[in-house]
């Protein structure tokens, strides 16, 4: 059953909410036999020097009812403020074509196309009212399907008249990512130096942690280069491929390190139990799927029909992975509580329990902030300050890495190995305290 205009633009509005931080990268898109009444192509923050270039070619429209009116198909820009007004209009007049609304900024309709067999147009226009706009294609022709090749080219001009293909709120991202990559390279250098100073206490987990820092630094430097080239030229020049590769390795390493630390591997025991291996066997394949979804979301855009589905897959996989990495920490806490009742090493077990409990809180806090708070920042921030959510996420990640690496640093007096016989009695009382129950 075809969607009503109101339902179509409402669905497009929901997709528009998911599209946070669109770059404005030059894209060449192919639409084949598409009958959707609304298609969202881009979301972009314009300054007062905004420009929109759209090239449409190879256009053909087929209908099973009658010859479609070309003025009923076209492209337009819509700001978030005007979106509410358009929804109200469509609610009051369900048969109204969006292209007839006085709240949109119409670019062109198919009436402006060159005659067949070429059926193409190269349209350029300026945006004089600074705001964040969504670029839509509307098909108000009944039961018609559209075939076309579309090239979108959205940018702002800086003070020197140079094109900036990054949205107004994201133009600072190359500098932000570069600064954080330098921070992680410095962090890695300090960590390697610290490990050399404490060779006796270095375990295999510390080598994985070093690899994690390296992947995070490389991921950020590639992100900086990716955004820089998109900003200057409109295309990433292959840096997006390296970005996705290092992001995949970094995320898999991060979840693996959290799971292994949570199980006490390499610190407390040199092996993993079957249930702990199963957690890794679940998390790693899911991260492969999440990475595929991330690439589809980032490289295609909201114009493809399955874009929302891929977003849902990514969200579901991320939630499952976040839940899965918590279980090993809980298992270790419970195991240590049981062990403390029989081995007579109260002070040592109390130190371990305290460390794991603190780690549990830190992991929960990190996941909550990067999944919920950051998303909220993206949603409520003005379009000019979209970079704030990216900066907040990187600050939270750096803080998490620093706390985790400090807690499980290679030191002879690491809390894993603390033995304070003088406080055995106090430790035994603390272990009996139910506060250690999660």
b vs e for 178-205, b when ≥16 Cβ sit within 10 Å of the residue's Cβ? Answer: bebbebbbebbeebeeebeeeeebbbeb
Would you call 118 exposed, middle or buried from its count of C-beta atoms within 10 A (0-12, 13-18, 19+)? exposed
Say which CATH class 173-436 falls into: mainly alpha
d(CA 162, CA 244): 28
Task: Check whether 436 has a pLDDT greater than 50.
Answer: no
pLDDT at 382: 87
pLDDT class for 19, splitting at 50, 70, 90? low
CA dist., res. 89 & res. 80, Å (int): 15
- For the segment 42-60, what is each residue's pLDDT rounded down to a tens digit? 889 999 999 999 999 999 9
Each residue's pLDDT tens digit, 249-272? 999 899 889 888 888 776 656 666
71-85, 88-102, 304-318, 422-436: range with lowest mean pLDDT: 422-436
Per cent of the chain over pLDDT 90 is 39
pLDDT in tens, 136-169: 999 988 889 999 999 999 999 988 789 999 999 9
pLDDT score at 300: 72
pTM of the model: 0.85
Q: What are the residue ranges spanned by the domains of the chain?
A: 5-164, 173-436
Strands 27-34 and 121-127, bridge-based pairing: unpaired
Q: Is the pLDDT of residue 390 over 50?
A: yes
Quickly state the pLDDT bin for 410 (edges 50, 70, 90): confident
CA distance 38 to 17: 15
Peptide bond into 119 cis (omega under 30): no
Question: What pLDDT sits at residue 164?
Answer: 94
**Which has the higher per-residue pLDDT, 13 or 285?**
285
Give the range among 68-72, 320-324, 412-416 with minimum mean pLDDT: 412-416
Find out whether 162 and 71 touch, Cβ atoms under 8 Å. no
Q: How confident is the model at residue 417 (pLDDT cuts 50, 70, 90)?
A: very low
> b/e map of 355-373 (b: 16 or more CB within 10 Å)?
bbbebbeebeebbebbeee
């Amino acid at each position: 059953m075809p969607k009503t205009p109101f339902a179509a633009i409402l669905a497009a509005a929901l997709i528009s909410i998911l599209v946070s931080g669109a770059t404005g990268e030059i894209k060449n898109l192919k639409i084949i036999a598409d009958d959707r009444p609304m298609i969202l192509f881009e979301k972009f923050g314009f300054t007062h020097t905004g420009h929109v270039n759209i090239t449409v070619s190879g256009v053909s429209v087929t209908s099973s009812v009658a010859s479609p009116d070309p003025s009923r198909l076209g492209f337009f820009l819509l700001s978030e403020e005007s979106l509410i007004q358009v929804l109200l209009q469509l609610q009051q007049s369900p048969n109204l074509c969006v292209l007839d609304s006085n709240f949109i900024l119409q670019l062109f309709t198919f009436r402006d196309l060159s005659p067949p067999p070429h059926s193409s147009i190269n349209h350029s226009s300026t945006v004089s009212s600074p705001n964040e706009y969504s670029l839509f294609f509307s098909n108000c022709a009944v039961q018609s399907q559209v075939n076309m090749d579309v090239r979108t080219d959205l940018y702002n001009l800086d003070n020197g008249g140079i094109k900036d293909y990054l949205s107004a709120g994201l133009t600072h991202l190359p500098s932000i990512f570069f600064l954080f990559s330098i921070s992680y390279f410095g962090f890695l250098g300090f960590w390697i130096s610290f490990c050399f100073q404490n060779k006796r206490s270095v375990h295999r987990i510390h080598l994985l942690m070093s690899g994690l820092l390296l992947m995070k630094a490389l991921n950020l430097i590639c992100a900086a280069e990716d955004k820089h080239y998109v900003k200057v030229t409109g295309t990433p020049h292959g840096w997006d491929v390296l970005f996705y590769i290092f992001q995949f390795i970094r995320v898999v390493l991060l979840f693996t390190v959290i799971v292994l630390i949570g199980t006490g591997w390499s610190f407390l025991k040199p092996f993993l139990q079957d249930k702990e291996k199963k957690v890794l066997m679940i998390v790693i394949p899911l991260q492969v799927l999440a990475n595929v979804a991330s690439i589809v979301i980032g490289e295609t855009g909201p114009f493809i029909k399955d874009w929302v589905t891929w977003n849902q897959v990514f969200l579901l996989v991320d939630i499952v992975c976040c839940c899965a990495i918590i279980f090993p920490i809980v298992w270790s806490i419970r195991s240590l509580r049981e062990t403390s009742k029989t081995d007579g090493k109260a002070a040592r077990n109390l130190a371990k329990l305290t460390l794991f409990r603190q780690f549990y809180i830190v992991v929960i806090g990190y996941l909550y902030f990067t999944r919920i708070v950051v998303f909220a920042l993206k949603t409520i921030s003005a379009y000019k300050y979209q970079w704030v959510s990216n900066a907040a996420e990187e600050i939270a990640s750096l803080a998490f890495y620093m706390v985790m690496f400090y807690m499980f640093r290679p030191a002879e007096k690491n809390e894993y190995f603390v033995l304070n016989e003088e406080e055995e009695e106090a430790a035994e009382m603390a272990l009996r305290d139910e506060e250690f129950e999660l």
